Amino acid sequence: MGDRQPSKAQDTRHHRNPYDMYDIQPEIGPRERIVLVDWLGELRDSFRLQPETLFLSAAYVDAFLSLAPLPLGCLQLLGMAAVWLAAKLTEVHPPGLADLLPLAEGAYSREQMTAMEERVLKVLSFSLTVPTPFRFAHYLMELAPLPPHPDMAAAVRQLAEALAELSLLDTGLATAQPSAAAAAAVYLAMEMAGGCGAGLEFVAAMSGLPREELEEHVGRLAAVLCSATESRPQQGPCALAHRYLDWEARYGFGGLRRAAARAGERDEQLAARRRDTAAASRSPRTAPAA
């Protein structure tokens, strides 16, 4: 978790417009990014990497894509270089080139991998120590009033970690302030587990976000959860959904039903806003008084 709490200054500095990256990427869009980030989750599982390694890897990918154009054929190479860099910071025994290159089935050479690592470092100006939702989520849970029963408190913590990982799949959440994504994960975890009334109010206050903005992030994350846990033909759920599904199997709170309800509320709110906007655009403008 690191030796100090994440700072708000760092948090603000690492907030980016969610679609800046796609403006400069002629071949890469949200779908391609989702596939890559979920594959990073598979790498985390294969090598049993620390959660922070996954979050840093995704942060490096998003920062790079926001700053430099990249051919689609190099996107997996970027992901591998990001994991390689992140693991060197967080893992006692990080995977090496001999471990990573076979995962691309011979698509890239050692020279291409080391060249991509060098390019990532230059594009990111060697700024590799960045705040992540994982660190902020743990900081919030250290302070927030959790359920008094140890098993319930552990359930909330594990669920918040799983939801924080799922937030990486959504461009808007992944490029929001890390503390905002963390607050959404912890808030939704408390909401789904139940019995956390005081904790919900604490997280809302600590987030520093307007209540409407926090609710938007929470609804967005709930929608990501529902989508990620759906089985895909011949594939099953997303790799990043496995931790949530393990939690659901262990604790059996029926969390998906609550998340679906939350996602439905967000859809209704968005539909209402669209109706209001359409009505406003159709209403006649009042002529200024003479």
**Token pair belonging to 66:** 């926001």
Percent of the chain with pLDDT over 90: 61
How many other C-beta atoms can be found within 10 angstroms of the C-beta atom of residue 61?
Answer: 26
Residue 131 or 253, more confident = 131
Q: Rounded distance, CA 243 to CA 264, Å?
A: 23
Do you know the residue count of the chain?
290
- Residue 196 has a pLDDT of 79
**Token pair belonging to 188:** 């939704």
CB 49 within 8 A of CB 43: yes
Comparing 34-43, 104-113, 195-204, 224-233, which segment has the lowest mean pLDDT?
224-233
- Mean per-residue pLDDT over the chain, rounded: 85
- Nearest alpha-carbon partner for 121 in 72, 71, 82, 79: 82
- Residue 276 has a pLDDT of 64
Residue 7, pLDDT > 70, answer no
pLDDT digits (tens, 9 = 90+) for 161-220: 999 999 999 999 998 999 999 999 999 999 888 777 889 999 999 999 999 999 999 999
- Domain segments of the chain: what residues? 10-123, 133-277
Split at pLDDT 50, 70, 90, the class of 285 is: low
Question: CA quadruple 241, 246, 251, 253: dihedral positive or negative?
Answer: positive
> What is the arithmetic mean of pLDDT over 229-238?
70
Name the CATH code of domain 133-277 (choices 1.10.472.10, 3.30.420.480, 3.40.1110.10, 1.10.287.130).
Answer: 1.10.472.10
Residue 4 or 282, more confident = 282
Assign 22 to helix, strand or coil: helix
* Identical fold, 10-123 and 133-277: yes
- Overall fold of domain 10-123: Cyclin A; domain 1 (1.10.472)
- Residue 148 has a pLDDT of 86
Q: Which residues contact 240 (CB under 8 A, 6 or more apart)?
A: 37, 38, 41, 165, 166, 168, 169, 228
- Nearest alpha-carbon partner for 62 in 122, 22, 104: 22
- Nearest alpha-carbon partner for 14 in 82, 63, 72: 63
CB 41 within 8 A of CB 61: no
How many other C-beta atoms can be found within 10 angstroms of the C-beta atom of residue 174?
Answer: 21
pTM of structure: 0.83
How many other C-beta atoms can be found within 10 angstroms of the C-beta atom of residue 274?
Answer: 10
